[in-house]
Amino acid sequence: CNNFCTYCIVPYVRGRERSRNAKNIIDEVRRVASEGYKEVMLLGQNVNSYGNDTDGEITFAQLLKEVCTVDGIERVRFMTSHPKDISDELIEVMASEDKICKQLHLPIQCGSDRILKLMNRKYTKEKYLQTVKKVRDAMPNIVLTTDIIVGFPGETEEDFLETMEVVKEVQYDSAFTFIYSKRTGTPAAVMENQIPDDVVKDRFDRLLAEVQEISRERCARFEGQTMDVLVEDVNDHDSSLVTGRLTNNLLVHFKGTEDLIGKIVDVHLDECRGFYYMGTMISK
């Protein structure tokens, strides 16, 4: 990673960004498609800056389009996107390619511009919210997830309340919440004003309660719809059920047998149970 967020050790231990050769990626996707795989995920610490180190030969959006042309691949996912690098081209390609799952992980980390600056995130709350608007305008049903850090050095109650405001405004489908923890060797580890544990814990609990309430409501919005599900496994707790994934990444459990694993089937979403669904298979 080239970004050097001040709390993160990744750039020090993993080195700089390197973009794999596009042809090799496509060849690999063709190979797994020929083996019967239906879904691929393109992974990187910051996938949106793919190609920046190869003189813009191919952008990440163009790579995604190429991956979508591979026969046999029916679902394409990617993560993680840095909010500063989401391009209009990427949003357009996501919206127009049916194979690209309508799910975007967009880590905000904090809603206060002052803390975002201390974190070296290189975007403001306003810029982030503009990106969210563009994404939702292009794909109204998109599932949007995020990461949030609580208790970064110097975070005041006002800064924290700004994060809460963003959470309420964006209405994330889910959010991974973290308590800030020092990584030796990073700039944030030696910053003054480290926040006392009890203050961080109190903020974390308030954030988690808000995030979970919103998630429950958001998850339930697909109830009653029939959607395609890629079956992944026999259910761990009840072997008469199989577990699969919607394109938006939510899990669904329904009656089924092992031979369905790896297949995409239509499932009616009968009931949302918090963060997952119980369903009924309509057709194979």
16 close to 2: Cβ distance less than 8 angstroms: yes
> Which residues of the shown chain bind ligand SF4 in the complex (CB under 6 A)?
1, 3-5, 8, 10-11, 45-46, 82
* CB closer to ligand SF4, 1 vs 170: 1
Q: How far is the CB of 11 from ligand SF4 (least distance, A)?
A: 5
* CB closer to ligand SF4, 8 vs 272: 8
55 close to 83: Cβ distance less than 8 angstroms: no
Q: How far is the CB of 40 from ligand SF4 (least distance, A)?
A: 22
* CB closer to ligand SF4, 45 vs 249: 45
Within 8 A by CB and 6+ apart from 231, the residues are 242, 243, 244, 256, 260, 261, 262, 263, 264, 265
Structure tokens at 26: 């496509």
The count of other CB atoms within 10 Å of the CB of residue 16 is: 8
- Give, in order, the Cα–Cα distances in Å from 173 to each of 52, 148, 242: 30, 13, 23
Q: How far is the CB of 186 from ligand SF4 (least distance, A)?
A: 9
* CB closer to ligand SF4, 8 vs 166: 8
Q: How far is the CB of 5 from ligand SF4 (least distance, A)?
A: 3
> Nearest-CA neighbor of 183 among 211, 149, 157, 207?
149
* CB closer to ligand SF4, 83 vs 279: 83
Q: How far is the CB of 109 from ligand SF4 (least distance, A)?
A: 8
Which of left, alpha, beta for 41 (phi over 0: left; psi -120 to 50: alpha)?
beta
Structure tokens at 160: 């924290």
